[in-house]
Structure 1
Amino acid sequence: MKIKCCKTNLLAVQDTMDILKGRWKVQIIAALCYNKMRFSDFQKEIEGISAKMLSSELKDLEVNQLLTRTVLNTQPISVEYELTDYGRTLKKIIENLAEWGIEHRKKIIGKVPEITEN
């Protein structure tokens, strides 16, 4: 579907940015694109996010129907998060952002840093 009206397009982009705004939401969604995650997994994966901010961002993403929160019957109780089908529609956008970011880093810095797994 091609959007003809520039104003409509700008409004659609604004709506998208309102949902994904902030430093952490896109990173949370990107982390969930491939696996379910527990709260502690996010804290290990997303450097610099506080527990309070993570909790707030997860709640907001749940309200916007992008992820589901499942309380597991474990001792102690743990919670698992995963993208909804609707949330998974963002996967292509996340992949495009990652590709653009890699190319941008190459253009500006000249190389992509090597990432070592912990």
Structure 2
Amino acid sequence: MEQAARSAPPPITIDPLQEQCGVRAALDVVRGRWKPFIMYELHMRRCRYSELQAAIPQVSAQALTKQLRELEHDGVVKRTVIDDSPVRVVYELTEFGWTLGDILDRLEEWGNDFLKRRNPGHQSQVCE
């Protein structure tokens, strides 16, 4: 049986400019060293916490937890507790979170173009 996500979101400081500027609001949501990687992994499939850790081995447990909670608070990621033995927790993009997919694809394209400008011999790679 699945349970809803936690009811109390973590305390997050919201930039007052976020309320007036759409670009600033969007950047505040995706800003974070690991958030794009987390969203990329969740774009591929639902993941347990340990699967995210394995997919992003450079991230510390503390940073992964913090950024997952921020994404959950912003409505981008859904955390579901599954009552099995043992209890499992899975993360997935919300319907709203899926709307970031095209934006991240375009950002990757722009980044590859930027790298080619800096280094004409650059070959595009899949981000890991």
Equivalent residue, structure 1, for 2:50: 40
Equivalent residue, structure 1, for 2:10: none
2:56 aligned with 1:56: no
Question: CA-atom RMSD, angstroms?
Answer: 2.2
Q: SS in structure 2 opposite 1:60?
A: helix
- Residue identity matched to 1:111: H
Matched-pair contact (CA < 8 Å) for 2:42–2:92: yes
Q: SS in structure 2 opposite 1:18?
A: helix
Q: SS in structure 2 opposite 1:33?
A: helix
Matched-pair contact (CA < 8 Å) for 2:82–2:88: yes
Report deviation, 1:77: 2.1
Whose relative contact order is higher, 1 or 2, with alpha carbons under 8 Å and at least 6 apart?
2
Q: SS in structure 2 opposite 1:23?
A: coil
- Residue identity matched to 2:82: L
Q: Per residue, is there more helix in 1 or in 2?
A: 1
2:101 aligned with 1:91: yes
Matched-pair contact (CA < 8 Å) for 2:112–2:124: no
Tell me which moved more, 83-92 or 99-108.
Answer: 99-108
The percentage of counterpart residues that share the same residue type is 35
2:37 aligned with 1:27: yes
Give the 3 Å change call, closer, same or farther, for CA 112–46 of structure 1 in structure 2: farther
What residue ranges of structure 2 are gaps of 5+ in the alignment?
1-19
Report deviation, 1:44: 1.3
Q: SS in structure 2 opposite 1:48?
A: coil
Equivalent residue, structure 1, for 2:123: 112
- Measure the CA separation in 1 of the matches of 2:97 and 2:66: 17
Alignment: residue pair count = 107
Give the 3 Å change call, closer, same or farther, for CA 73–45 of structure 1 in structure 2: same
2:111 aligned with 1:101: yes
